[in-house]
Amino acid sequence: MLSAEEKQRYARQMWLPEIGEQGQEKLAASRVLIAGLGGLGSLSAMYLAAAGVGALRIADKDVVSLSDLNRQILYTEADLGRIKTGAAAERLHALNGSCRIEPFQVDICEMAAKLIKGCDLVIDATDNVDARRALNRAAVGRGIPMVHGGIDGFSGTVTVIVPGKSACFECLFPDRGMAPGPRDIPALGPVVGIVASVQSTEALKLLLTVGTPMTDQLLMIKADSGDFHTVRTRRNPNCALCASL
């Protein structure tokens, strides 16, 4: 049951017939894992907290550095050197005190299976293939939907993974033992913002079970030319992870 204050706070989104009071209660009862608190995770965490998602489990092992501040809008100069999960938890709590924040300063590759337990949905906001693969494995293993997002300079990608029903990360990017070495990936704040905004929208749609999720499609964003393009995908019959589901 929503309080009078909550009804006022969320009024604008509750005006949407797809949300209403019932939808808002669904959000309040949801727990989302934000895996990675860089550029993508910053924005998704803020949008989901602001929208009234009941609990956010936030995971990252890093500390805030100066070169993060061009895009990681959860943090300020006062946070430099602080553990990201600590700084993020404070900021998110200030944004919405009703949202329970569960911070985990851990390596997502190592802890994916534990992090995901008890969550209704995962936002993949990580910054490397290994972490994405680990999260996908955990999400598919537990049957938890995941919203994948990635950026590289002016480009971005979003897709929604519903295990057993749509293509998973491994379907599209099978582990062929040829992962490229780590590299510093260029990142422009507003491009990160576009991708995270699409991810957050997809997350809310899934939690609310409204609209059509962006499953079996890769949204490819090229901000330098303003091109938004969808590549149609499907489950890979040879997928080592989900073909048998």
**Interface residue list for another protein (CB under 8 A):** 36, 38-41, 125-129, 132, 149-152, 155-157, 167, 171-174, 176, 178-180, 185-187, 218, 220, 231-234, 236, 238
Closest to another protein by CB, 14 or 56 = 56
Q: Could you tell me the smallest distance in angstroms from the CB atom of residue 168 to another protein?
A: 13
Can you tell me the distance from the alpha carbon of 43 to that of 66, in angstroms, rounded to the nearest whole number?
18
Closest to another protein by CB, 24 or 127 = 127
Residue 216, both tokens: 């079996």
- Contact between residue 204 and residue 85 where contact means Cβ atoms under 8 Å apart: no
Closest to another protein by CB, 92 or 108 = 108
Residue 123, both tokens: 């936002």
| E strands, 88-235, in order | 100-104, 121-124, 146-152, 155-161, 217-222, 227-232
Closest to another protein by CB, 149 or 213 = 149
Strand partners, 174: none
Closest to another protein by CB, 41 or 213 = 41
Q: Which amino acid is at 40?
A: L
Closest to another protein by CB, 17 or 237 = 237
Q: Could you tell me the smallest distance in angstroms from the CB atom of residue 171 to another protein?
A: 8
Residue 188, both tokens: 């422009």
Question: What does the DSSP 8-state code read for residue 100?
Answer: E
Q: Could you tell me the smallest distance in angstroms from the CB atom of residue 46 to another protein?
A: 15
Q: Could you tell me the smallest distance in angstroms from the CB atom of residue 197 to another protein?
A: 14
Residue 80, both tokens: 């430099």
Inter-CA distances, 95 with 48, 90, 202, Å? 11, 9, 21
- Contact between residue 225 and residue 161 where contact means Cβ atoms under 8 Å apart: no
Q: Could you tell me the smallest distance in angstroms from the CB atom of residue 184 to another protein?
A: 9
Q: Could you tell me the smallest distance in angstroms from the CB atom of residue 9 to another protein?
A: 29
